[in-house]
Structure 1
Amino acid sequence: MSCVVWNARGLGNQRAFRELKRLIAEKDPSLIFISESKLRDYQCNWWKSVLGFSGLFAVSCQGRSGGLILLWKDPLDVMIHSYSSGHIYCSVNHVGKKWRFTGFYGSPEACSRHLSWDLLRRLHNLSNLKGLPWLVGGDFNEICYDEEKSGGNLRPLAQTQAFRDVLDDCSLQDLHVRGEFYTWVNRRAAAATIFERLDRYVATFD
């Protein structure tokens, strides 16, 4: 099986929806997590059948920002345990093997990012699921090291250290990347171009 996470930055137009269909056709994911859909939950209900999935759970956007979607296919048995504007937390039973998945969207505001890290710690400590393997994927809106950014000013050390600390506290390890290293670009003129690795998967060892 395969799992895809994608920051769509808005799915309310045909171009974005075509890109989603292309991504699904190319990767054939059993589970896909989409952040920044910028849609209300009821606007996503018909996607399940149109895109060939058996299950869907959506969190509404807040105003013109946010919005999360989780889609999955048979034979995955998915149970949602908690959700917010920044996450969808579920258990997944796949052919008798059970594990945890969290689709994650870190706060885009640096001053509020500690709340995102506190959320990860709370999810880590949920006693009824703590023993299960855990995969977390999404847009964390933060880098771990200066090497994950090209262009612009360096991140404050305390900011990147806080991200590394929460990964350590939750026993989450970064999964090695293949292909394009950076996942975000500000799309400005060459001298002002900034690349960052904001999207990633992290997982417990098991």
Structure 2
Amino acid sequence: MNIIIWNSRGVLKPNFQKHVRDLVRNHNPAIMVIMETRLGGERAREVTDRLPFDGAIHTETIGLTGGLWLLWNTDMVEIELLATTEQEIHVEVNVLSSNLSWFFTAI
């Protein structure tokens, strides 16, 4: 199972979505964390709805900084949200192809 963690430094850059699709095509991640998105709320949902993941958790930004997204494919893993703040996401990950279950934190 692959996990990608990327400090994007802004998801509204022109090539952001293309880069995500290339990473997914090349590495087939079950989970992807995108940091420093600089985008939260409904606009974050609009962007992640166009990405090749069907699960998403977003944190809110702090002004024009921060922003953290946890994205996943529900055919590979089940994610249970435990807690979030503006700067962290805590989840339990259940891997569907095995009996593995573990905690994951993105900061």
TM-score, normalising length: structure 1: 0.47
Gaps of 5+ in 2: none
Gaps of 5+ in 1: 105-206
Larger radius of gyration between Structure 1 and Structure 2:
1
Instruction: State the alpha-carbon separation in 1 of the partners of residues 56 and 25 from structure 2.
Output: 18
Deviation at 1:48, TM superposition (A): 4.6
RMSD value, Cα: 1.6
Matches within 5 A, 1:37-186: 37-73=37-73, 74-95=75-96, 96-104=99-107
Could you tell me which amino acid in structure 2 is paired with residue 69 of structure 1? W
Deviation at 1:49, TM superposition (A): 4.5
The answer to which structure, 1 or 2, has the higher relative contact order (CA under 8 A, 6+ apart) is: 2
Q: Deviations over 1:178-206 (max 9, x none)?
A: xxxxxxxxxxxxxxxxxxxxxxxxxxxxx
Gap change, CA 1:54 and 1:87, over 3 Å in 2: same
Q: Deviations over 1:37-95 (max 9, x none)?
A: 00013112244553221210101211110000010002311011111122111001112
Instruction: State the alpha-carbon separation in 1 of the partners of residues 87 and 12 from structure 2.
Output: 19
Instruction: State the alpha-carbon separation in 2 of the partners of residues 84 and 28 from structure 1.
Output: 28
Could you tell me which amino acid in structure 2 is paired with residue 67 of structure 1? G
Q: Deviations over 1:91-141 (max 9, x none)?
A: 01112321011112xxxxxxxxxxxxxxxxxxxxxxxxxxxxxxxxxxxxx
Structure 1 segments, 4+ long, off by >6 Å, are none
Aligned length: 104
2:3 matches 1:3: yes
Instruction: State the alpha-carbon separation in 2 of the partners of residues 15 and 26 from structure 1.
Output: 16
Of all paired residues, the percent bearing the same amino acid is: 26
> Is the strand fraction higher in 1 or 2?
2
Instruction: State the alpha-carbon separation in 1 of the partners of residues 49 and 59 from structure 2.
Output: 18
- Any conservation in 1 of the 2:20–2:51 contact (CA below 8 Å)? no
SS of residue paired to 2:37: coil
Matches within 5 A, 1:18-29: 18-29=18-29
Could you tell me which amino acid in structure 2 is paired with residue 102 of structure 1? T
SS of residue paired to 2:39: coil
> Is the helix fraction higher in 1 or 2?
1
Corresponding residue for residue 31 of structure 2: 31
Corresponding residue for residue 171 of structure 1: none
